[in-house]
A and B are shown apart, each in its own frame.
Chain A
Amino acid sequence: MEKKKQRIGLYICHCGGNISDYVNVEEIGKLMQKEDGVLISKDVMFTCADSNQKDMIQDIREKNLDAIVVASCSPKLHLHTFQEVAKRAGLNPSNYVQVNIREQCSWPHSDKPKDATMKAVGLIQAGVKRVAYSESLENIEVEVKSTVLVVGAGISGMRSSIELARLGYEVYLVEKESVVGGHVAELEQVFMSGQNGKKIINDLYEQVKSYSNITLFTNAVMENVSGSIGNFSVDVRIKPREEISGQKEETLTLHAGAVLVATGFDPYQPKEGEYGYGTMPSVVTLPEFNEMIRNNPGKLVHNSRQIRKVSFIYCVGNRQNKGENKYCSRHCCTSTIHTSIQIREKYKDITSFHLYRDIRTYGKQEVLFEKSSRQGDIYIRFDEKEPPQIEQQGKKTLIRVTDYLTEKRELELEADLVVLVTGMEARKDSTDISAKFKIPIGNDKFFNEIHPKLKPVETVIKGVFIGGSCQGPKNITESVQSSLAATAKINALLGSGKIQLAPIIARVNQDACTWCGKCAEVCDYDSLVKTTAANREVALVNRATCAGCGICAPVCPENAIDLAQYTDSEIESMIDGFMMEIDPGEIGKAEAAVEKEVLQMREYPQMWKNILSTLNGGKKTIPEMAEELNEKKELVTYHVMTMNRYGAVVPAGMDEDEEYYYYSIKN
């Protein structure tokens, strides 16, 4: 363990008055000067202000401080700011601790200033004690390969590969089918642009081929995955092509600095008998119907019958109250309506019934919905509780449905074809892919990003990204948006050839470890492996893959694991700090002296001095002062208010319009 820190600098923030209005920061500052190991203890008006940051750097350098503590706002706001200050002053940023005396002290306890002060003392003592045990940690630097493995050559994977190649990366594009393009290649006309899906894919394929730094593998199956950010190794088995005889199966090992998973979705496959699927010849799915349209140029014929009435049943296999597929597939309402418009243009004499639950043609796609209803499509709304019933009567297919738009009337309609609007599901093998790359999956089996809004294409596995519809239902635009976002993230990660990982990782005390394997069991990242040290079997942490969760630490029966920055001595000393007794009398007594003290405050901020000099014996309103100082009114207001509180200035009546107060220097 490192030496306990003995030259600590402590800065306690007024935050204007946000803290000091309720917490007696000056008194605490004085009190803490007597604390063990504290060399400097200051109260500062705004610790995050540039001027104070400069002062801190100077302090660290001149007084040779070995650790610093700032008691101010939540670390979520300024932890990084002050870590940077430490760094600039040549101090290891791990030797910095931030104490939250605003969000977790002055504000919630603004009703009890005295108690707030007492609590702040506890919090600050805890911070000082914790920093005393802090260790200097170095960021973990990992060399990264400028090679990217893209899994899945659908539109998402292809677009990303092209962009990555353009940025100069070596790209391995791995596709399990014998052809590229995924589901887009199956679409005759995509909404909203009306382009031919196959053509879009062909164009992309030409581009892929034109880059020498993209290597495309088709008929390729992912096998073993190992390694971590910067250097993954993936075994890919290339199946022989049926049409080329004599080709042998081979397995290659690809190395890549980062991985983009873009494996897309599987269309929902209705169960046998679900809405008559598989049992009635006139029931098909939307993808099957799309194929039918592709293959029937002049007349729409199915089972040698001309189709005049088509009935679409929406949300099949989606938005299930009971089943696992709770989500909405987003694209299918629009796809269906688009198809319905398409068939009316293509075959003229055709009528569409839409048996739907809700229409979700969000955004710009709404115009399609209006167009379809204007062209005479019939919309009937059902509830999941009362799904339409389909019955075959001789050659006729009858549908019975309770229409929620017409007084819940039971309707009967005849259709030549029933099209089940099947949405998306996660790929059948998504669990397998998830296990290989350790990407978390949800109950719906789609891959999970770290945070849907803040980190939408990153996974908790460093270096593994997800893009396109393998994350969840997306249309083409959305799929490409997400895969290109992942592309940008990959570029940011690999761009410099090296990456810095935060040093907060688990560490094993190998002298104590007896290799019981318990830690390895709970680690979701396979970061604990068995190794031999001094002829004993012990655990070893993979510094590159450890996520720093600390879950392994409590399970170790020998207490051999510590999480950096959360060691026993750090946490336990904090607990001691909270509970240290202090004499409240000191602070009480001090309260009386506040006013006098303030007048002789060690150092007024420059702004106060400026304000005092503009007043110069007379009286002025805040707008007048702001104008004279050429400063923002809000800022001047802020300072004048605080000065008023500390008795540096006093109100001196209102102006003529009774709009503003005058202020003058207090004598």
Chain B
Amino acid sequence: MSDTKSSPRILVFSTDTISDPGIDQAGQRKIHYSPSVYVISLPCSSGIKPRWIMHAFEQGFDGVFIAADGIECSYNHKCAEYTNNIIVETQQMMKDKNINPKRIRMAALCSVCAEPFVNHMENFSRILVELEN
């Protein structure tokens, strides 16, 4: 069995200028993480629609990770707050569908956060595996 099947499937939302370069850097430095991690990059983490996240769960993703800009966001100084609102709203929707709210996670990552990203993926995978059992 390959890892893509055995390890939890994680959808990551990253941001074009800040967290996605950090994830790229993990690759450039050949720091390994699970190949069942998929990334979609957006201009700003506050632009993620809850329905996309729900769609990901419906399609079989085990977890959704938001690699937010935090205070570094150049668009909006309230970015962290808005992204958080989106998560809260989504978790409400998840509850209605009986999805554990722990399946969604957020952390601030910067453009050189290669190791932190990989660590987040490991931790999140572990949490998701525990949720299965």
Contact = CB atoms under 8 A, between A and B. Distances in A.
Interface stretch (A108-116, A413-421, A612-620): A108-116
B44 A112 contact: no
A119 B38 contact: yes
Contact of A575 (B43, B56, B76, B82): B56
B49 A568 contact: yes
A573 to B, nearest CB: 10
Interface string B1-39: 011100001010000000011011111101111011011
B92 interface: no
Contacts of A574: 40
A16 to B, nearest CB: 15
Contact of A104 (B24, B46, B52, B56): B24
B11 A108 contact: no
A91 interface: no
A451 interface: yes
B11 to A, nearest CB: 7
A506 to B, nearest CB: 9
Interface residues of B, number: 48
Interface string B41-64: 111101111111001100111000
B38 A578 contact: yes
Interface size class of A (residues with CB under 8 A): 35 or more
A236 B86 CA distance: 41
Contacts of A451: 74
A566 B27 CA distance: 25
Given A76-B21, A575-B11, A575-B61, A107 B38 contact: no
Interface string A455-494: 0000010000000000000000000000000000000000
Interface in A502-558: 504, 522, 524, 547-551, 553-555
B51 A116 contact: no
B97 to A, nearest CB: 16
A551 B75 contact: yes
A152 interface: no
A574 B52 CA distance: 10
Contact of B26 (A108, A123, A524, A553): A108
A435 to B, nearest CB: 13
B18 to A, nearest CB: 10
B126 interface: no
B102 interface: no
Contacts of A524: 75-78
A109 B26 CA distance: 10
Contacts of B28: 103, 107
Contacts of A548: 43
A102 B27 CA distance: 8
Contacts of A392: none
A74 interface: yes
Nearest to B46: A551
Q: Is the interface of B mostly helix, strand, loop or mixed?
A: mixed
Contacts of A576: 59
Nearest to A114: B2
A440 B47 contact: no
Contacts of B55: 572, 575
A627 B78 CA distance: 60
A104 B39 contact: yes
B42 A111 contact: no
Interface in A261-308: none
A149 interface: no
Tell which of A440, A549, A584 has the most Cβ of chain B within 10 Å. A549
A13 B48 CA distance: 30
Nearest to B49: A554
Contacts of A216: none
A635 interface: no
Tell which of B49, B55, B60, B77 has the most Cβ of chain A within 10 Å. B49
Given A440-B77, A571-B40, A575-B11, A550 B24 contact: no
Given A108-B26, A118-B35, A563 B43 contact: yes
A460 B51 contact: no
Nearest to A123: B38
Given A550-B44, A571-B40, A115 B35 contact: yes
Contacts of B20: 76
A496 interface: no
Contact of B46 (A109, A114, A549): A549
Contacts of A575: 11, 40, 52, 55-56, 59, 61
6 contacts: A74-B24, A103-B23, A105-B35, A123-B38, A440-B74, A550-B47
Interface of A: 74-76, 100, 102-105, 107-112, 114-116, 118-119, 122-123, 126, 440, 450-451, 460, 504, 522, 524, 547-551, 553-555, 559, 563, 566, 568, 571-572, 574-576, 578-579, 584
10 closest A-B pairs by beta carbon, nearest first, are: A550-B47, A103-B27, A549-B75, A107-B27, A115-B35, A103-B24, A108-B27, A549-B44, A551-B46, A109-B35
Interface of B: 2-4, 9, 11, 20-21, 23-28, 30-33, 35-36, 38-44, 46-52, 55-56, 59-61, 74-79, 82, 85-86, 89
